[in-house]
């Protein structure tokens, strides 16, 4: 990955985190963790990955609230960062934790079946 893209990713993650934590007053958002940002090569689009504590319905509610506020997040980013183009922000659910838990379950099942032989 290009050095510039990495720097923009980390800058956007830091600034969007500040905006979500301190400026958004939506009660639906609650406690969320921004886990990463992935900016396109042309720096026009940014995928923001979000993790929240809750079930699928709660996660979807949080995601809907964040995507509803994304124009405000972009507007706030414009005053916080100095980039030629402010990327179009879209929020996505980070399912890394779910995948990790599933892999751990499969490994435990495999170890149990291996021990019984």
Give the model confidence (pLDDT) of 75-92 as tens digits: 999 999 988 889 999 999
Structural domain spans, the chain: 3-115
Which pair of structure tokens corresponds to residue 14? 């830091």
Q: Which fold has domain 3-115?
A: GMP Synthetase; Chain A, domain 3 (3.30.300)
Tell me the per-residue pLDDT of 36-67, one tens digit each, with 9 for 90 and over: 999 999 999 999 999 887 777 888 888 899 99
């Amino acid at each position: 990955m290009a050095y510039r893209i990495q720097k923009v990713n980390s800058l956007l993650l830091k600034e969007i985190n500040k905006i979500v934590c301190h400026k958004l007053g939506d009660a639906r958002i609650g406690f969320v963790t921004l886990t990463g940002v992935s900016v396109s090569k042309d720096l026009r689009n940014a995928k923001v990955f979000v993790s929240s504590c809750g079930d699928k319905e709660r996660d979807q509610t949080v995601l809907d609230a964040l995507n509803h506020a994304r124009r405000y997040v972009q507007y706030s980013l414009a005053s916080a960062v100095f980039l030629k183009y402010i990327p179009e922000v879209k929020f996505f659910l980070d399912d890394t934790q779910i995948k990790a838990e599933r892999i751990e379950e499969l490994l435990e099942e495999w170890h149990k079946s291996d021990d019984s032989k």
